[in-house]
Amino acid sequence: MSGVAVSAHLRYFPTKLLAVRGIVEQSNTTSPYDLVGAVTLTTAKLDVEYEMRRSMSWLSSIKFTLEDYAKQKYSARRLEINGGPRLRFNRWLSMDVTGGYAQRFVNGAAPFEKYSQVYGLVSVVLAR
């Protein structure tokens, strides 16, 4: 699979405690479905981080993805919203607790189903 991937990233800091990040990207990839050679994915994502204390931040994001299948009369759209706190124990160790909702919409007679998903995630990061 060959193709061009395009990405744009913008960071904005309206205050000392608030960070806003926006990402728009487009890429091509192979498709797992029969009779489809390629999928074009276009994604827009907005992240917001509010530093409540030096050791605690609140994170939230919203992401919208368009899935366009080459030479097919169907496509899909995916919307994901999530958020939660990030606890920093020291310079190397932090923990994220995230809750979110994702939904996939299908346009046309696609070989896959639409879905809704509610999820929770706890992650521990050890960084140097």
Distance between CA atoms of residues 18 and 110, nearest Å:
41
Q: Is the pLDDT of residue 81 over 80?
A: yes
Share of the chain above pLDDT 70, in %: 91
| Radius of gyration of the chain from its Cα atoms, rounded to whole angstroms | 18
% pLDDT > 90, the chain: 60
**Running DSSP on this structure, what letter comes out for residue 34?**
T
Position with higher pLDDT, 53 vs 47: 47
Q: pLDDT-derived band of residue 119, with 50, 70 and 90 as boundaries?
A: very high
Which candidate, 100, 89, 91, places its Cα nearest to that of 122? Answer: 100
Q: List the chain domain ranges.
A: 6-126
